Every structure is written in structure tokens, then in C-alpha cells.
Structure 1
Amino acid sequence: MEIDTDKIDDAVLALLWLTVHDHRRAWKGLDWEALGRLHRKGLISDPANKAKSVVLSDEGLERAEALFQSLFMRPK
């Protein structure tokens, strides 16, 4: 069975939404390979720096919230 890294990236992006602070920064304590892929997709800033957080792009912020709601919220 092959791992679908796009699904992993979606889950990681959704989990980044949990730690958003200062309007678009999120703690980067998740899988480094997934963070690198999200950076290459233009959804977050480069995680390879001294900061403990990454900055979500406009698209990344929108997708993170939408993915969080679809993956982790219960229907009303």
C-alpha cells in the first residue's frame, strides 16, 4: 500500500490551524517532510529557520481552516 502524501499534507495543514496565533503564525512541531511539502506548495513559509512557528500564506490560512472544519468538526 502506498502513502498518499497529499492527504497527510491536508491533515498537517488542518492541524496547523489549531495553533494559529498572531493572525497567521502556527507552531511548527509537526512532521518536517510534510512541512517542507506545504512550503513547496506555497501554503506556509520556509520551516527551516530559527523561529518556532511558520507563517501561513493567504491560501494556506483559508485551506487550513476549511480542512480543519471538514476533517475535525462534527456536523450541527
Structure 2
Amino acid sequence: MEFDTGKIDDATLALLYLTLHDRTRAWKGHDWDTLDRLHDKGLIGNPAGKVKSVVFTDEGLTRAKEVFETMFAKKGA
């Protein structure tokens, strides 16, 4: 089976938004290839390193919020 990495990236971005703390940081306990793609797209800072969180870029934070609301918000609430 072939995976749609765009959908995986969006889902991961939404889950990163779920763990948002300190205004722009999120826990990085996700697939490394996916985090690398999000970094390559300019949505998060470099995920490599000992720190257990990543920093959203301004664009990444905006996109993460949009995807999170699309995927997880209750309709009509």
C-alpha cells in the first residue's frame, strides 16, 4: 500500500498542535521522516537534537491550527 505523505504530514501537524505549549512549542514524539518533511516545508524548526519539543514557525502554527480545526473540531459547536 502506498501512503499519502501529504495527509500524514497534515495529521501529524494537527497532533503537534494538540500538544502545543509555551505558545510555539510542541512535543515531538512522532515519526522522524514526517518531522523532517515538516521541517523541509518550513512549518517547524529542525527536529534534530536532544530537546523533546519542536518550535512551530509562524506559517506552521497557522497551518497547524487550520488543520487541527478541520480534522477535530465539532461541527456547529
Equivalent residue for 1:2?
Answer: 2
**3-state DSSP class of the match of 1:30?**
coil
The superposition leaves residues 36-62 of structure 1 with CA deviations (integer Å, 9 ceiling, x where unpaired) of 100000000111111000000000000
Equivalent residue for 1:61?
Answer: 61
Deviation, structure 1 residue 9: 0.1
Runs of 4+ in structure 1 deviating by more than 2 angstroms, as ranges, are none
Structure 2: distance between partners of 1:28 and 1:2: 24
TM-score, structure 1 as length reference: 0.96
Q: CA RMSD in A?
A: 0.7
Structure 1: distance between partners of 2:6 and 2:48: 20
Structure 2: distance between partners of 1:19 and 1:2: 28
Deviation, structure 1 residue 2: 2.0
TM-score, structure 2 as length reference: 0.95
Equivalent residue for 2:36?
Answer: 36
**3-state DSSP class of the match of 1:61?**
helix
Structure 2: distance between partners of 1:13 and 1:19: 10
Structure 1: distance between partners of 2:74 and 2:34: 26
Structure 1, unaligned runs of 5 or more: none
